[in-house]
Amino acid sequence: MNFFEHQARARSNSRRVVGLFLLAALVIVAAINVVVLAVFVLGEAPEDVDAMLLPTMFAATAITVAIIGLGSLYKVLALKRGGGAVVRDLGGTLVPEDPGDFHLKRLRNVVEEMSIASGVPVPEIYVLDREAGINAFAAGYSTADAAIAVTRGTLDRLSRDELQAVVAHEFSHILNGDMRLNVRLMGLIFGLLVLGMTGRKVLESMRHGGSKKDGAPLMVIALAVMVFGYLGVFLGRMIKAYVSRQREFLADASAVQFTRVNHGLTGALMKIGAFAAGSKLTDADGEEVAHMLFGDGVGYSALTATHPPIDERIRRVDPRFDPQLLTKLTAFETRFAGMDEDHEPLGAMALLSGKIERKSETADAPGAPQSIVDRVATPTLAHVEFASDLKSGLPPVLIAAAHQRERAIDVVLALLLSRETTHRAASEALIADRLGSTRRDGAIGLIGLLEDLPASSYMPLALIALPSIKRRPESELTAVVECLDALIHVDGRLDLFEFALARLIRQDLFESRHPGQSQSMTKLPHVEADAVLLLRMLAAHGGSAERAQRAFAAGLSVLYPRSAHRFAAPPDNWPEHLDRALTALDGLIPPAKETLVLALATTAMFDGGLTIEEAELLRLACAALHCPLPPIVPMRTA
């Protein structure tokens, strides 16, 4: 199953979840109506029953629906704050910009490497410090407001390979659209919980006042509301189990695909199965996020379990797994009790049989446009190692500045200034005018560090800086976006990198401040002009005019086989047109996006390779479509 099939499945599951929720709510409303009718209507004189039947049913239905609906609406609106808010509500602590803790540094490195390898902004990183179990989860509506949280037990007990596998598992949920479904599920099921809590509160209040005889009917109804409300919670758990179990298998498979080593994931799962703390959350209430966790954090029964059994998950990854290894591994748990906090924990297989070496791989050259489609949101070990090497090659001062809330904006400004040769003074004056002389001086001070870096480092550096930028006041972020848009036009020309960087930041900041925006369901015939413009832009950056015509025709035959469009040079104000086109194309349904990416890859790889400009535009288009493309693509010169 590729990225686009995952996206289509997530949308389908989302519709099913809403349908199952409505069915559960309907069952509860009907059950409460029966109790209300039995208490009020059947207790009246026969001649009054007909007159009371409809009003009583209407009132009972309206009140029940209102409680469930308002409860769900309240939770959905609360979750609009983004993934970080979900983690903070559970007691998560944001990982510092420059942590002194060895394990926190390791976590930040792993998450940032996975982000670079995946081609998405770095999510906020949190730790549940009071949780000794091994667990993690990702929360948010999109890559722009995503947050990853791990427990302290995960940091203290897992080796780097095991931690990387857990993070890769969570990135799979981020990339494949599972997060949005998870957050929506949290909001809907909360309404059922509120109904049960309402009935309980009414019962508790009636104990302290009023005549028991006079209040008997109301007590019966309150008891029914409480019982059926908590029955709704049980049904909600079953809905979670229905949508969660299979996705855990898929995320496990993706984690192995990302890292190309299965001992990392099996080691993490084995430690959960062997160690006493397991994956349980003890300090935080894991009920709401149970379906989002890496491992079972609550301990549900088999009927409502949100995760498959550990043995089964391990066997899916390694069919040769022997359950007796869990018993043997249990004996090693005491080795972590007084462990040196500045050293790497040993992996499960290393504890059992000695250290295992990781095998590197090289990125295979794409043999056909379809290989680009297959790479979307599916980084491999080669991409992760590329990200690790790239990040280790960045000057420490630049990395530190990208992590700092006060300096991250300077990094982005320096990236743009470093590409400016003829209008540097005008650009610096613009920054001082829009953002102040301190911001200008900070950016200038970083330019020298960028001079010897390859162009492939620029966009990953921006991805690393984005989480810190998003923590600035909203008024400042608005000024930053306006400054970036003005800055890239100072010299009267606009290259693809400048456009891509400004649009990436603008899109990410907007989505992080407005999570949970509705997604349209557009089809290709409705956006033909926008798709054709994007194809023309890509063809125009591939070389000669003759090649551009042929490349455009090849991509068009994939996208609109019966179309009579011909190649034409992009308009002079192409950034404005391209910006509008990318926004419109983001509304395509997943199968249509897959066709569009295939057409773009067909145009870009018309003669078997990619120019640097084609690769930048292709990755920009994929990012705008929320189809992140890993960074490793073989290049050719125009």
The per-residue pLDDT for 305 is 81
Lowest mean pLDDT, pick from 29-33, 380-384, 593-597: 380-384
CB 258 within 8 A of CB 168: yes
pLDDT of residue 362: 46
**What are the respective helix, strand and coil percentages of the chain, to the nearest 5?**
65, 5, 30
- Which candidate in 170, 287, 511, 594 is catalytic? 170
Most confidently predicted of 226-235, 382-391, 435-444:
435-444
pLDDT at position 357 is: 44
CA distances from 296 to 84, 184, 307 (A): 21, 20, 6
Task: Give the model's confidence band at 115: pLDDT under 50 very low, under 70 low, under 90 confident, else very high.
Answer: very high
Query: Both tokens of residue 87?
Result: 């983690």
The residue written with tokens 């496990």 in the block is: 252
- Distance CA(195)–CA(122), nearest Å, equals 38
What pLDDT is stored for residue 209 in this prediction? 58
Of all residues in the chain, the percent with pLDDT exceeding 70 is 88
Q: How does the average pLDDT of the chain come out, rounded?
A: 83
- For residues 43 and 429, the model is more confident at 429
Q: Could you read off the pLDDT of 46-76 as tens digits, one per residue?
A: 555 566 667 777 888 888 888 888 888 888 8
Confidence of residue 167 (pLDDT cuts 50, 70, 90): very high
User: pLDDT value at position 511?
Assistant: 86
- Of 2-6, 27-31, 540-544, least confident by mean pLDDT is 2-6
Q: Residue 358 corresponds to which amino acid?
A: R
| Per-residue pLDDT tens over the stretch 592-631 | 999 999 999 999 888 777 777 777 788 888 888 888 888 7
Q: Which of 501, 418, 497 is nearest to 466 (CA)?
A: 501
In the prediction, which pLDDT does 49 show?
Answer: 58
User: Mean pLDDT over residues 447-475, rounded?
Assistant: 88
The answer to whether residue 170 is catalytic is yes
Specify the pTM. 0.79
For residue 113, what is the enclosing H or E element? Answer: helix 102-118
HSE value, Cβ hemisphere, 13 Å, CA-based, for 511: 25
For the chain, list the domains and their CATH numbers. Answer: 3-84+182-242 (no CATH), 87-173+249-353 (3.30.2010.10), 395-513 (no CATH), 520-624 (no CATH)
pLDDT in tens, 293-343: 999 888 777 777 888 889 999 988 888 888 888 888 888 877 665 555 666
Is the predicted pLDDT of residue 158 greater than 80, yes or no?
Answer: yes
